[in-house]
Structure 1
Amino acid sequence: MSGFKTTLINCQQCGRRIMVRAVDTERGSIVCSHVGCGAVNVLQKPFHYDESIVLGLPSFGQLTYLGTPETTYRLQFGSNVIGTSDACTVQVARFVHNGRCFISRRHCTLTVVFDKWTGQLRYQLQDGAVDATTQLNQSSLNGTQLNGVPLLKTELIDVSDEGIITLGGVDRFRLAHYTIPSTMLDTYKIELDFNPDRTQ
C-alpha cells in the first residue's frame, strides 16, 4: 500500500475532507463517503487559458448611458478612463442637470483584464484615475457608485454583467460584458500536470 499516493480534497457538496487514492485518480472521480452526502466529485486535470486569446476578440464590452440620448461607448482591453476630458479613453458628454455637470474630467477607471482560470474578461472599477505626472490616483469630485453603493476612494471592485455604474450620483451607465465563446476558448486551453486536489 505504501506505493500508492493518496491525498485529501474537500467534497464539493458537503465540504468535508475525502481521501483520494490512486484508483480514484485513474477512474477520474470519487464518491463522498460521509453520511448523508454521497456526492460524486470529478477529478480533473487543471488548466488555464492563454491570454493571447484577447488579440483576436472583436469586442471588450460596452457602457450604455441610460439617460437621454441613450449612448453606447465601446471599451478597450486594459485601462478605460471615463470622464468628460478629451484625453479620456471613454469620453462622455457633459450631461447637465439643473445647470451643473456632476461628472469629473477624469471621473473613474474601468479596467478590462483577462482571467486565465475562467477564460473570461473581468471588469474592475475604481473611482478616479491615475495622474500621469504623480502616478497617484486622483478621486472624482462627486464619487462613483456601483449598483447604488458608493465606492470607497481606494476600492477596486469587480463589476458584473449588466451592473449599473453611476457617476456623480446622477448619470447612470449599464455595463455589458463581452463573453468569449467556448469554441474559441477550447483552442486556447493549456492543460497542466494532473493534480487530484482540483475537483470540478
Structure 2
Amino acid sequence: MSGFKTTLIDCQACGRRIMVRAADAERGSIACSHLGCGAVNILSAAFQYDENIVHGLPAFGKLTYLGDSQLIYPLQFGRNTLGTSDACTVQLNRFMHNGRCYISRRHCTLTVTFDKWTGQLRYHLQDGAVDNQAQTHQYSLNGTRLNATPLQKTEIVDVENGGIFTLGGVDSFRLSHYVIPSAMLDTYKVELDFNPDRTQ
C-alpha cells in the first residue's frame, strides 16, 4: 500500500492502542498484541462518493404547499432563498390571510448540499436570508418553524425527508428530498486509502 504511514488504532475489544503497519492494512486485519486480549480487529477500507454526481441529477428536491397540493416549488443545488420577492431563488405566492401576508420578502434559506459519505443530498434550513447589497443576514418578521418548533435566529437545522416547515406561523410546506438512486451512486464511489478511524 503505497504512501501508508504507520498509525495507531484502539482495539475494539480491550480499548488499548495497537500499531497498524502497511502489511496489516493490506491484509485487512490486525490481532491485538496486548497480553490477555489477542482480539482480531478488521480494518475496513474507507470510501466516499464523488460530488460531481450532482451535475447529472435531474432534480434537487421540492416543496409542496400544504394549503394547495398543486403548488409545488422545485429547489436548486446550493442556497435557495424563499420569500415573496422576485429576487428570491424560490419565489413564493403571497398567501393572504384576512388581508395580510405573513411571509417575508426574503423569509428563510434552504441550502441543498451533497454529503460525500452517505451519497445523499442534505437540506439545511435557516430563518432569514443574506441581503446581497448590505452583505448582512436579515431575519424574517414572523419567524420560521420546523415541525412546529420555532427556529432560533442563528440556528441552522437539517430537514428530514417529509419535514414540514411553517413560515410566519401560518403557511406550511412539506420538503421532499431527491433520493439519488443506488445504481447511479455506485458509479461515483471512490475507494480511499485505509482509514485508521474505521474498524469493524
The offset of 1:31, in angstroms, is 9.3
SS in 2 for 1:162: coil
Q: Residue 35 of structure 2 corresponds to which residue in structure 1?
A: none
Cα distance in structure 2, aligned partners of 1:80 and 1:51: 19
| TM-score, normalised by the number of residues in structure 2 | 0.82
Q: Residue 125 of structure 1 corresponds to which residue in structure 2?
A: 125
SS in 2 for 1:43: strand
Q: Residue 193 of structure 1 corresponds to which residue in structure 2?
A: 193
**Does the 8 Å contact 2:25/2:194 carry over to 1?**
no
Distance 1:141 1:162, change over 3 A: same
Question: Can you give the 5+ residue segments of structure 2 that lack an aligned partner in the other structure?
Answer: 1-5, 33-38
Q: Residue 10 of structure 2 corresponds to which residue in structure 1?
A: 9
| TM-score, normalised by the number of residues in structure 1 | 0.82
Cα distance in structure 1, aligned partners of 2:9 and 2:91: 52
Question: What are the superposed Cα offsets for residues 96-147 of structure 1, whole Å, 9 maximum, x if unpaired?
Answer: 1122111011100101011112211110111111001111110000000111
Cα distance in structure 1, aligned partners of 2:166 and 2:52: 32
The offset of 1:154, in angstroms, is 1.2
Q: Residue 181 of structure 2 corresponds to which residue in structure 1?
A: 181
The offset of 1:188, in angstroms, is 1.3
The offset of 1:21, in angstroms, is 5.8
Q: Residue 158 of structure 1 corresponds to which residue in structure 2?
A: 158
Amino acid at match of 1:52: N
SS in 1 for 2:117: coil
Q: Residue 87 of structure 2 corresponds to which residue in structure 1?
A: 87
**Does the 8 Å contact 1:63/1:72 carry over to 2?**
yes
1:22-61 aligned at under 5 Å gives the runs 25=25, 28=28, 42-61=42-61
Cα distance in structure 2, aligned partners of 1:77 and 1:99: 34
Cα distance in structure 2, aligned partners of 1:41 and 1:119: 27
The offset of 1:199, in angstroms, is 2.9
**Does the 8 Å contact 2:78/2:111 carry over to 1?**
yes
Cα distance in structure 2, aligned partners of 1:6 and 1:94: 59
The offset of 1:7, in angstroms, is 3.1
The structure richer in strand per residue is 2
Q: Residue 35 of structure 1 corresponds to which residue in structure 2?
A: none
Cα distance in structure 2, aligned partners of 1:42 and 1:100: 62
Distance 1:26 1:192, change over 3 A: closer
Q: Residue 97 of structure 2 corresponds to which residue in structure 1?
A: 97
Amino acid at match of 1:92: L
Q: Residue 141 of structure 2 corresponds to which residue in structure 1?
A: 141
The offset of 1:196, in angstroms, is 3.7
